[in-house]
Chains A and B, each alone.
Chain A
Amino acid sequence: AQKVTQAQTEISVVEKEDVTLDCVYETRDTTYYLFWYKQPPSGELVFLIRRNSFDEQNEISGRYSWNFQKSTSSFNFTITASQVVDSAVYFCALSDSPHWGGSEKLVFGKGTKLTVNP
């Protein structure tokens, strides 16, 4: 069965600190897809990244970076020089499909609440 574990329930940092959100997954599929979503206080989920199991290259997007390591089944998310606007709940998710479709299973972690204090 697929499972996503986000062990950090809540993290609090001071602005400009770097912070890493952990995500560990379990799957028997050889092809799978990992996602990160941001849920700001307004409630909607904002897509951040999708990574397939064949691409272990780390990705950087501005202050965001992702470290995918199949050897440890982890897909960690780092925010560099955090800002107050980064305060949100962040979800990691796992799917056997690159696209959304109800027939495919999309499994979410329980989320990590990040608070960035000024």
Chain B
Amino acid sequence: DGGITQSPKYLFRKEGQNVTLSCEQNLNHDAMYWYRQDPGQGLRLIYYSQIVNDFQKGDIAEGYSVSREKKESFPLTVTSAQKNPTAFYLCASSIEEGRNTEAFFGQGTRLTVV
């Protein structure tokens, strides 16, 4: 079945460690996104990529990094520079711009930094 897979579902890391969240899609979508969700808050855009080997900062990119070496994959690294990394992270993908469409989401990764 086509869809977006995020792994792992739960992730625990010690403070000061970098951690990478995986996002894979087999929908042949060009665009992919990373969002952060905090309790009682809406989604905030971290990074997005509209094409392979290209990505742009969203609203809260500081302390995060991404790569887009393959169309299917858009991993997010939470670095030690991120002041408050504990959150729920959602990955999404959509067809390229210019079409009337919506995004499809993965099931998220809940990151807890202790």
Query: A42 at interface (Cβ–Cβ under 8 A)?
Result: yes
Query: A118 at interface (Cβ–Cβ under 8 A)?
Result: no
Residues of A46-75 whose CB lies within 8 A of B: 46-47, 50
Q: Are B106 and A47 in contact (CB under 8 A)?
A: no
Instruction: Take A35-B102, A50-B102, A100-B92 as given contacts and tell me if A44 and B97 are in contact as well, using a CB distance cutoff of 8 Å.
Output: no
Chain B: residues with Cβ within 8 Å of the partner, total of: 32
* Residues of B near any A CB (own CB < 8 A): 31, 33, 40-45, 47-50, 56, 58, 88, 90, 92, 94-95, 97-108, 110
Identify whether the interface residues of A are mostly helix, strand, loop, or mixed: loop
Separation of A45 and B95 alpha carbons in the complex (Å): 17
Q: Are A101 and B105 in contact (CB under 8 A)?
A: no
Separation of A110 and B42 alpha carbons in the complex (Å): 4
Instruction: Take A100-B92, A101-B31, A102-B48 as given contacts and tell me if A44 and B42 are in contact as well, using a CB distance cutoff of 8 Å.
Output: no
Q: Are B103 and A47 in contact (CB under 8 A)?
A: yes
Residues of A within 8 A of B103 (CB): 45, 47, 100
Minimal Cβ-Cβ distance residue in A for B108? A43
